[in-house]
Chain A
Amino acid sequence: MPRTSDLEDARVIVRGVSKSFVLRHTHSFKEAFVAFIKRKKLSTTFDALQGVDFVISEGETVALLGFNGSGKSTLLKLISGVLRPDAGDVLARGRIAGLIEVGAGFHPDLSGRENVYLNAAILGMTRSEVDEKFDAIVEFSEIGEFIDTEVKHYSSGMFVRLAFAVAIHTTVDILLVDEILSVGDEPFQRKCLAKIRELQGQGKTMVVVSHDLDTVANLCRRGILLEHGRVVFDGDSHEAVARMRGQ
């Protein structure tokens, strides 16, 4: 358990966090009745996270590592506030923006411009902040003149580029980045990485989830390795990746 003295420059505190999901196998009275008669289980509990503890300091970039189903995304959702822990606390200081699946708030019938404003507001920006960043967002996305076209006519590449551009330009203290390093073609990926490094330089706190282990190990100094919902390693990111690969 972290001491109070360590918490002064902390941005995210996760202490004793557990989260489990109840998987219901029945979705109607009929199914429930049949299952009951056949003495099948009506539901099973799945522990996604158990007793997770860590503190992320200001300006730190942390990689959450682990195989599918290890609890990375659940943890990210807990930090963003989409999910609440069953036990323990998740605490954060400052504004959080999740890149948890870019483009979640996009509406296909709205133009690129309208979507930028809507999505930025969803991510917690004010009108003046969006006005200020709008040109930078459009430039970064390389959408150009198509900004006033309905998003449903965009190619999938254009769509993710715009969505990512909005998310990366949110003025927040804590950025949660889920699997975005696989966005767009290679030049755009390089641009994304450069942007993330620029934000690192500005002292933003970041939590990154990716399956691209080499990139993520180079991007982050610290790695937290999760296995079946428990933290099994917390330290140097290259070491964490090595441990993950060694298994």
Chain B
Amino acid sequence: MKSSSEPIPPGFSEPGRSAGLLGVFRRRYLLSLIVRKEVQVRYRGSVLGWLWSYVKPTAQFIVYFLALGIFLRLNGALEYYPIYLFSGLIVINFFTEAFSNGTRAIVDNGPLIKKIFLPREMFPVSSTIVAFVNFLPQLLVTLVVCLVVGWHPQPLQVVGVLVGILIVGLLATGLGMLFGAINVSFRDSQNFVDLILLVVLWASPVLYPWTTVRDNVPDWLLQVYLANPVTVAVELFHAGLWLPTTDGSFELPPDLFLRAGVGLAIALVVIALGQLVFRKLEGRFAQDL
């Protein structure tokens, strides 16, 4: 790109040279305002307002509970199936929302990106944070239910849940940056992401236990299945929240904490890749939007 080899005089910088994700955290104040704006604006003009954040997962939960828990009899097969179901669903909802909004974030904020320079990673990052804000009340409901049915939180369980949240947050941000950057030139990206998100719920042991996968597929496929960071996060939630409320006879995937480390590593690789692609493409954002 550069033709000039002349040195940059001291004190000068190139406008528009972005520090990437680092730049986002350097401008935390702006990030906090953007997140607050998104949170405020989201349900503005609706009567139920933020209650929608509860209504949607509740309806989703009821549908799956009736279809799978009652009709397909998973309720009898797994102890406290409602907790099993809900603790997994909230992880998927967090991922889905962060990833999907992150993918659309650049295009949605096009008018701003075209006119004023700011670290554009700001938008996928804020999508993840907004999704997290939305996820918190759902997590709270799960925690309360677990405590009521006799959960005594252990440090390791809490760490597992936090690692699960971290994996999903990083993964969704990385994927959001990757597909969001591509989405500027190719709107196919957001449709492709919708497709991925359709599969994601079924590709992780949310509605059914992972043991059914183990019993039905060859070992290599099971390993692929268990390498999915979202699956790892879901199992960390099951291990931390649901399992302690049961008699503990359920078998978790072997080496769960090792898998958590690998899942975290994958999420970090994805975020690095997302940043790389984002930087490559961001020079064209202002002219392609």
Instruction: Spell out A's residues near B (CB within 8 Å).
Output: 4, 7, 10, 13, 15-16, 21, 77-84, 86-93, 96, 98, 100-101, 104-105, 107, 109-110, 114, 117-118, 121-124, 126-127
Contacts and interface: CB of A to CB of B under 8 A. Distances in A.
Nearest to A97: B116
Contacts of A81: 14-17, 117
A121 B37 CA distance: 12
Contacts of B4: 15-16, 87-89
14 contacts: A13-B12, A21-B287, A80-B16, A82-B113, A82-B115, A84-B14, A87-B4, A90-B14, A92-B12, A92-B15, A98-B116, A104-B111, A114-B37, A121-B30
A220 to B, nearest CB: 21
Task: Enumerate the 9 nearest inter-chain pairs by beta-carbon distance, A residue then B residue, closest first.
Answer: A81-B16, A81-B15, A81-B117, A104-B115, A91-B12, A87-B3, A121-B30, A82-B286, A93-B11
Nearest to B113: A82
A100 B12 contact: no
A105 B3 contact: no
A123 B44 contact: no
Interface of B: 1-4, 6, 8-9, 11-17, 27, 29-30, 33-34, 37, 40-41, 44-45, 111-118, 283, 286-287
B116 A104 contact: yes
Nearest to B30: A121
Given A10-B9, A87-B1, A91-B13, 14 more contacts: A78-B15, A81-B14, A81-B16, A82-B114, A84-B16, A86-B1, A87-B3, A89-B2, A96-B15, A98-B117, A100-B115, A104-B112, A104-B115, A118-B33
A92 B286 contact: no
Nearest to A21: B287
Contacts of B16: 78, 80-84, 90
A166 to B, nearest CB: 12
Contact of B8 (A78, A80, A91): A91
Most B-side CB within 10 Å, residue of A13, A83, A123, A127: A83
Contacts of B34: 118
Contacts of A82: 16, 113-117, 286
Given A104-B111, A118-B34, A79 B11 contact: no
Given A21-B287, A98-B115, A110-B37, A92 B13 contact: yes
B154 to A, nearest CB: 40
Contacts of A114: 37, 40
Contacts of A118: 33-34, 37
A78 B27 CA distance: 22
Contact of A122 (B11, B44, B116): B116
B29 A121 contact: yes
A104 B41 CA distance: 17
Contact of A109 (B11, B44, B114): B44
A77 B286 contact: yes
A83 B45 CA distance: 36
A122 B30 CA distance: 6
A214 to B, nearest CB: 27
B18 to A, nearest CB: 8
B115 A101 contact: yes
A15 B17 contact: no
Contacts of A100: 115-116
B29 A127 contact: yes
Contacts of B30: 121-122
Contacts of A10: 9
A110 B117 CA distance: 22
Given A21-B287, A88-B3, A89-B4, A126 B15 contact: no
Contacts of A86: 1
A83 B12 contact: no
Contacts of B118: 122, 124
Contacts of A84: 1, 14, 16, 283
Contacts of B12: 13, 91-93
Contacts of B117: 80-82, 96, 98
A120 to B, nearest CB: 9
A107 B116 CA distance: 15
Nearest to A98: B116
Nearest to A48: B287
